[in-house]
Amino acid sequence: MFYKRSSELFKQAQEVIPGGVNSPVRAFKSVGGTPIFASKAKGAYVIDEDGNRFIDYISSWGPMILGHAHPKVVEAISKVAKNGTSFGMPTLLETKLAKLALSMVPNMDKIRFVNSGTEACMSAIRLARGFTKRDKIIKFSGCYHGHSDSFLIEAGSGVVTFGTPNSPGVTEGTAKDTLIAPYNNISFVKTIFKENPGQIAAIIIEPIAGNMGCVVPNSGFLEGLRKLCDINDSLLIFDEVMTGFRLSKGGAQEVLGINADIVTYGKVIGGGLPVGAFASRNEIMNELSPNGSVYQAGTLSGNPLAMIAGYTTLNELNENNEVYKSLDDKSSYLGIEMNKILESEKIDFQINKFGSMISLHFCSEPVIDFESSMKGNNNKFKKYFHGMLSEGIYLPPSPFESYFLNDALSYNDIDFTLEALKKVSKSL
Ligand SMILES: *Cc1c(COP(=O)(O)O)cnc(C)c1O
């Protein structure tokens, strides 16, 4: 593979865009090398600016669950675009997507659309704080809820203490209201509740974590959080920006059989256009302006192109009863076969998988939280990533991200990927 044009384009981009990218993970910093500039994509494949073709395992970090440039989605967007692309007035499309989304997920009465997962999570905690009239939230190390200040917090020193900012520009004042717990550690969360009586507005969590690789909750963990929230009159927020409409029609709430009080969405719900959303029951959503006093707004929220892309994608997922099973089957096949290949090379590795989310860490201990996810061998990961890339397989350029399979991927594509892994694993 040659990346001549990508290298040139990256240089040009760096002159006018910080680091040459508009979102850091795209810069390949954790794997080294030059990011590949995409020029087009169709189905399971992405073509870069040099004309190289890759089998795509990130699906734009999730949204392209049906595959790239799905004909129905493209046609629907083009049709709507001809009638104007933004009005700053309500449109029928917003109600259509709201009705469809609410009919697919359990336990939610109303939904508000925003433009990204970050906005959805930021608004969800404001709403939770407004509703409960409390300030503090509990977040888990290694879970990502977008880049708003309240979430860019890491655990402070000491056993149970306030969080501290993990980015310059986030104030101590903000950090003190975010309390950090390790994923899968219910007793730690209990202690936080005990030490902050009557002060916790909400727990926010990725019900299946996807931002430290894929990490699955231990049995009883989420049930335990649900119980703690009920006992303490706190709200449970599921961040389903990744899992919503990906694990099943009803997302993690449905698959795991646990109801959250507020759920955030993003990625798949926009079908490849910028959409986020948060949903809850009437009692809570009625606190939101213009009905209630918790403020939240957006000039481009509910944008018609974004709504039709989301609507067409969800409609396809809703009507095609095979799609989730087919995604699960393909992911299982990939996971099982990867396992066999890596085992035969006697490499230390962990494959975590839930539905169509998979991740691979090069370490010997199970990956169950952020601490264990950090133990992966990064040099091995770099070799693996670049090896697979040169075989034409585009994987997430960081061990802390999950693969997101899309339904355009064929068994031939997966077999091709496994052949590549056979070659690459010999050099690990
Ligand atoms: C991607 C992601 C976000 C942030 O969404 P953006 O659209 O990138 O702002 C929030 N939470 C989770 C779980 C995510 O995976």
Compute and round to an integer the Cα radius of gyration of the chain. 21
What pLDDT is attached to residue 159?
53
Write the CB contacts of 301 (distance below 8 Å, at least 6 apart in sequence).
112, 113, 114, 115
- Tokens of residue 277, six digits: 């959303």
What pLDDT is attached to residue 321?
81
Residue whose CA lies nearest to ligand 1 atom number 11: 145
- Residues within 6 Å of ligand 1 by CB: 116-118, 121, 144-146, 206, 210-211, 239, 241-242, 266, 276
Report CA(353)–ligand 1 centroid distance (Å): 19
Give the rounded distance of the alpha carbon of 130 from its chain centre: 25
What pLDDT is attached to residue 420?
98
Quick one: 349 exposed, middle or buried, by C-beta within 10 A (0-12, 13-18, 19+)?
A: buried
What pLDDT is attached to residue 160?
53
Q: What domains appear along the chain, each with residue ranges and CATH number?
A: 4-69+321-425 (3.90.1150.10), 71-319 (3.40.640.10)
Residue whose CA lies nearest to ligand 1 atom number 8: 117
Low-confidence ranges of the chain (pLDDT < 50): none
Report CA(339)–ligand 1 centroid distance (Å): 28
The atom of ligand 1 lying closest to the CA of 116 is 7
Known catalytic residues are 144, 239, 267
How far CA 108 is from CA of 97, 133, 222, 250, 415, in Å, comes to: 14, 22, 18, 10, 40
Give the rounded distance of the alpha carbon of 138 from its chain centre: 19
Is 208:168 a contact under the CB 8 Å cutoff?
Answer: no
**pLDDT tens-digit series, residues 176-216:** 999 999 999 999 999 999 999 999 999 999 999 999 999 99
What pLDDT is attached to residue 211?
93
What pLDDT is attached to residue 158?
58
- Tokens of residue 364, six digits: 């010997």
Residue whose CA lies nearest to ligand 1 atom number 15: 242
What pLDDT is attached to residue 162?
72
Report CA(118)–ligand 1 centroid distance (Å): 6
Is 171:165 a contact under the CB 8 Å cutoff?
Answer: yes
What pLDDT is attached to residue 393?
98
Q: Which candidate, 413, 150, 107, places its Cα nearest to that of 280?
A: 107
Report CA(147)–ligand 1 centroid distance (Å): 8
